[in-house]
């Protein structure tokens, strides 16, 4: 069994060591491709492996096609919008993710961004506190639930929307369920986005929603840039000089946003929500175990393609 870990943005060394141990113990061979800059390197490396472990690395039909022995792709993380599921299914390749393994890291970053923006990017002027403010969580999955857990410590008033999550789950977490996205944006000073990028969610957050936010609203996006209608957001920030936007997933037009709204927008230079030793260890080792389980027993509990 040959297992390729291909990460343009590498895992922490300690995570790779842990993954190697799992792979070694199973008698499999690890091939490591880190910080690759050319797509061809991935196409070459995948040619003779049985399994591929990735992060946000793009696995399209060409990569699937190049993996002649490929049986499984595990995205060490939550979102799998970087994998062509149809191509994988057509080639009989199982695609899996590792839900929940990096969600605390992303949730902690939400509060780093929120504090940074609420304190005017630490520029020395008077800002505001999160305590007692309203927080709306858009999607109550693994990250959203961790955001709620941390927000309770800040004594925020928390609400959330998630058509796939029963109200009881939110109520048990001290969160008020909201049933329309318009209401979520209209009633929360801080809104944190945790929806996946899908054809349905693509560009779904724009002018109409953002301008519903209360005075001094702060929108935080640690999900995907694709869920934002960038032109609409730009117009919203133009018409509402009180609003701010912080993202771990910089918009395609980041430079324009920064030039137009200085002090009101912030983007991390590289997506770093899951970029912690702990998240890398959790997601990386879970991915390695899922690969070994699948190759040895066919286990595919975390399969995301049909
Ligand atoms: C995820 O979907 O798990 C996060 O966006 C993390 O992505 P990354 O592994 O590229 O940091």
Pair 131, 213 in one domain: yes
Q: Atom 10 (ligand 1): residue with closest C-alpha?
A: 56
Q: Atom 6 (ligand 1): residue with closest C-alpha?
A: 274
Cα-to-centroid distance, 146 and ligand 1 (Å): 16
Question: What is the tally of helices (H) and strands (E) in the chain?
Answer: 12, 12
Q: Is 55 in the pocket of ligand 1 (CB under 6 A)?
A: yes
Cα-to-centroid distance, 238 and ligand 1 (Å): 30
Q: Is 194 in the pocket of ligand 1 (CB under 6 A)?
A: no
Cα-to-centroid distance, 111 and ligand 1 (Å): 17
Cα-to-centroid distance, 240 and ligand 1 (Å): 31
pLDDT at position 273 is 98
Q: Which of 5, 6, 56 to mutate to test the pocket of ligand 1 (most atoms within 8 A of CB)?
A: 56
Pair 143, 216 in one domain: yes
Pair 183, 221 in one domain: yes
Instruction: Record the pTM.
Output: 0.97
Pair 94, 158 in one domain: no
pLDDT at position 157 is 99
pLDDT at position 119 is 98
Burial zone of 213 (CB within 10 Å; 0-12 exposed, 13-18 middle, 19+ buried): buried
Q: How many domains does the chain have?
A: 2
Q: Identify whether the C-beta of residue 197 lies closer than 8 Å to the C-beta of residue 224.
A: yes
Pair 258, 133 in one domain: yes
Cα-to-centroid distance, 233 and ligand 1 (Å): 23
Pair 115, 258 in one domain: yes
**Does residue 217 belong to any structural domain of this protein?**
yes
Pair 165, 68 in one domain: no
Pair 201, 283 in one domain: no
Pair 124, 239 in one domain: yes
For 290, half-sphere exposure in the C-beta direction (CA atoms, 13 angstrom radius) is 29
Q: Is 77 in the pocket of ligand 1 (CB under 6 A)?
A: yes
Q: Is 103 in the pocket of ligand 1 (CB under 6 A)?
A: no
**Does residue 304 belong to any structural domain of this protein?**
no
Give the pLDDT means over successive 10-residue stretches in the chain (306 positions): 98 98 98 98 98 98 98 98 98 98 98 98 98 98 98 98 98 98 98 98 98 98 98 99 98 98 98 98 98 97 96
pLDDT at position 124 is 98
The token duo for 197 is 């990028």
Burial 79-118 (b: 16+ CB within 10 A, else e): bbbbbbbebbeeeebbbbbbbbbbbbbbbbbbbbbbeebb
The domain that holds 281 is classified in CATH as: 3.40.50.720
pLDDT at position 16 is 98
**Does residue 305 belong to any structural domain of this protein?**
no
Pair 138, 20 in one domain: no
**Does residue 233 belong to any structural domain of this protein?**
yes
Pair 261, 116 in one domain: yes
Note the residue count of the chain. 306
Instruction: With CA atoms as reference, report the closest residue to 175 among 163, 161, 193, 189.
Output: 161
- Containing structural domain, residue 231: 103-267
Cα-to-centroid distance, 78 and ligand 1 (Å): 6
Nearest ligand 1 atom to alpha carbon 224: 5
- DSSP string covering 194-222: -----TTTTT-BSHHHHTTSPTT-EEEE-
pLDDT at position 80 is 98
Q: Atom 11 (ligand 1): residue with closest C-alpha?
A: 274
pLDDT at position 237 is 99
Pair 88, 109 in one domain: no
pLDDT at position 153 is 98
Distance CA 215, CA 150 (A): 24
């Amino acid at each position: 069994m040959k297992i390729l870990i291909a990460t343009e943005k590498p895992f922490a060394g300690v995570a790779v060591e842990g993954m190697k141990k799992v792979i070694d113990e199973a008698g499999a061979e690890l091939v490591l491709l880190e910080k690759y800059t050319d797509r061809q390197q991935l196409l070459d490396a995948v040619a003779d492996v049985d399994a591929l472990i990735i992060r946000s690395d793009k696995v399209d039909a060409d990569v699937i096609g190049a993996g002649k022995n490929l049986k499984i792709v595990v995205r060490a993380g939550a979102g799998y919008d970087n994998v062509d599921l149809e191509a994988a299914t057509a080639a009989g390749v199982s695609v899996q993710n590792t839900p929940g393994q990096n969600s605390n890291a992303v949730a902690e970053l939400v509060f780093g961004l929120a504090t940074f923006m609420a304190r005017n990017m630490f520029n020395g002027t008077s800002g505001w506190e999160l305590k007692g403010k309203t927080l709306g969580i858009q999607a109550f999955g693994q990250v959203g639930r961790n955001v709620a857990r941390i927000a309770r410590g800040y004594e925020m008033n928390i609400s959330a929307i998630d058509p796939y999550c029963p109200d009881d789950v939110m109520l048990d977490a001290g969160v008020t369920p909201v049933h329309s996205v318009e209401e979520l944006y209209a009633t929360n000073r801080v809104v944190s986005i945790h929806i996946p990028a899908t054809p349905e969610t693509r560009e779904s957050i724009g002018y109409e929603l953002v301008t519903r936010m209360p005075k001094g609203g702060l929108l935080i996006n640690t999900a995907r840039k694709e869920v934002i209608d960038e032109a609409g957001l730009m117009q919203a920030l133009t018409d509402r000089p009180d609003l701010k936007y912080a993202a771990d997933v910089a918009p395609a037009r980041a430079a324009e946003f920064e030039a137009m709204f200085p002090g009101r927008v912030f983007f991390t230079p590289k997506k770093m929500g899951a970029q912690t030793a702990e998240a890398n260890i959790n997601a990386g080792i879970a991915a390695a175990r899922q690969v070994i389980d699948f190759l040895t027993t066919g286990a595919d509990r975390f399969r995301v393609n049909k």
